[in-house]
């Protein structure tokens, strides 16, 4: 049997799970580094996904709580997608991925983990970043700690 160590997960496993909406609550706190918030725009913000598919997995979310993309104002929507575009530029410069997966999961049936607050995912991809482990062992290996990714991207937006 092979073991994959991820000791940082124990903190999450033992922690009390927050009530409410983290996409509302975290930006309301003055703890950007602890909450992995990289950039604050006027209507939206950028943060690291705490449970990433790959290093550099970013989220762009409006400050306003809505689960419906069609309820965004023109200003919220325009800034949202400007920030998605900026994420791609920054990740290209900082991490040199070979490609990206970009999207939003609208509704629980579509895979939304936080269905009540619209947000977009920007996932950098590299050749070979998916291998046999997820297929055979149902395990995902993320090769970089969140704090290291945060430090690498901080100030680039």
In the chain, where the domains are located: 18-153
Q: Taking 60 as the threshold, does the pLDDT of residue 41 lie above it?
A: yes
Of 47-56, 84-93, 122-131, the poorest mean pLDDT is in 122-131
Write down the catalytic residue from 57, 65, 117, 119: 119
- Concerning whether 57 is annotated as a catalytic residue, the answer is no
Q: What is the mean pLDDT of residues 14-42?
A: 91
The confidence score (pLDDT) of residue 140 equals 61
Q: What is the 3-state secondary structure of the chain?
A: CCCCCCCCHHHHHHCCCCCCCHHHHHHHCCCHHHHCEEEECCCEEEEECCCCCCCCCEEEEECCCCCCHHHCCHHHHHHHHHHHHHHHHHHHHHHCCCEEEEECCCCHHHCCCCCCCCCEEEEEECCCCCCHHHHHHCCCCCCCCHHHHHHHHCCCC
Structural class in CATH, domain 18-153: alpha beta
pLDDT above 70 for 104 = yes
Residue range 120-147: mean pLDDT, rounded: 70
């Amino acid at each position: 049997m092979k073991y994959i160590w991820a000791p940082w997960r124990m903190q999450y496993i033992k922690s009390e799970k927050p009530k409410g909406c983290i996409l509302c609550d975290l930006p309301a706190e003055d703890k950007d580094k602890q909450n992995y918030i990289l950039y604050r725009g006027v209507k939206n913000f950028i943060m690291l996904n705490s449970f990433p598919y790959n290093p550099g997995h970013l989220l762009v979310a409006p400050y306003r709580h809505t689960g419906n993309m069609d309820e965004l104002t023109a200003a919220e929507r325009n800034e949202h997608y400007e920030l998605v575009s900026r994420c791609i530029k920054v990740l290209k410069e900082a991490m040199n991925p070979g490609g990206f997966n970009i999207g939003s999961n609208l509704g629980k049936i579509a895979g939304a983990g936080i269905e009540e607050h619209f947000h977009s995912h920007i996932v950098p991809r590299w050749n070979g970043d998916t291998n046999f482990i997820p297929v055979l062992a149902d395990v995902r290996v993320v090769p970089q700690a969140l704090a290291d990714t945060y430090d690498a991207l901080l100030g680039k937006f």
